[in-house]
């Protein structure tokens, strides 16, 4: 709740309630974001800018509009009474989940390579699969 509160810089907060911001009295020239800068924000994104806005059921107000993939919504969030967050944050938990798959594929490929190399060495060096005459068995 802002009550007769002006010229505040309010950024990198996690707002989760039904109204997010309430106003009482005169509230002028509040800034709801800073100039974008590299750094981990409140929801784990790569840039600090505005705030994360969500309802009580964890329904984010900005979920898909991030074409430049910087973790900031491409559209601003109007808070009413002339207050605007020009860089609301986007929470993307799937980004962290997607990192497991490439490691699994890499380890699987390496394991397969080691097995094939072992079979090659056994067949070539030890002579596995050949009879005494030097001809391949069938």
CA dist., res. 35 & res. 50, Å (int): 9
Q: What pLDDT digit, counting tens, does each position of 66-94 carry?
A: 888 898 998 898 888 888 999 999 887 54
Q: What pLDDT digit, counting tens, does each position of 13-50 carry?
A: 999 888 888 889 988 889 999 999 999 999 999 999 99
**Half-sphere exposure (Cβ direction) of 102: Cα atoms closer than 13 Å:** 5
Which pLDDT score is estimated for 105?
A: 62
Q: What is the largest CA-CA distance in the chain?
A: 101
Question: Where are the chain's structural domains?
Answer: 1-97, 99-138
- Angle at alpha carbon of residue 95, lines to 105 and 56, rounded to 5°: 145
Global pTM reads 0.63
Residue with more model confidence, 99 or 65: 65
Which pLDDT score is estimated for 42?
A: 92
Question: Is 76:84 a contact under the CB 8 Å cutoff?
Answer: yes
* Cross-strand pairs, 14: 52
Q: List, in order, residues 6 or more apart from 33 with CB less than 8 Å away.
A: 11, 49, 50, 51, 85, 86, 87, 88
Question: Is 24:4 a contact under the CB 8 Å cutoff?
Answer: yes
Which pLDDT score is estimated for 98?
A: 44
Residue with more model confidence, 97 or 108: 108
CA dist., res. 20 & res. 56, Å (int): 9
Which pLDDT score is estimated for 18?
A: 81
Residue found by looking up tokens 């997607």 in the block: 98
What's the mean per-residue pLDDT of the chain?
Answer: 81
């Amino acid at each position: 709740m802002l009550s007769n509160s002006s010229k505040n810089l309010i950024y990198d907060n996690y707002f989760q309630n039904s109204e997010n911001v309430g106003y009482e009295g005169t509230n002028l020239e509040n800034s709801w974001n800073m100039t974008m800068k590299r750094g981990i924000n409140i929801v784990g994104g790569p840039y600090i800018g505005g705030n994360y806005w969500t309802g009580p059921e964890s329904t984010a107000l900005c979920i898909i509009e991030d074409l430049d993939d910087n973790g900031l919504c491409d559209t601003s969030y109007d808070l009413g009474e002339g207050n605007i967050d020009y860089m609301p944050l986007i929470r993307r938990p799937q980004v962290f989940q997607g990192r497991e798959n490439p490691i699994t594929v890499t380890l699987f490929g390496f394991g397969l390579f080691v097995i094939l190399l072992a079979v090659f060495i056994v067949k070539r060096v030890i002579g596995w699969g050949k009879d005494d005459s030097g001809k391949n068995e069938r």
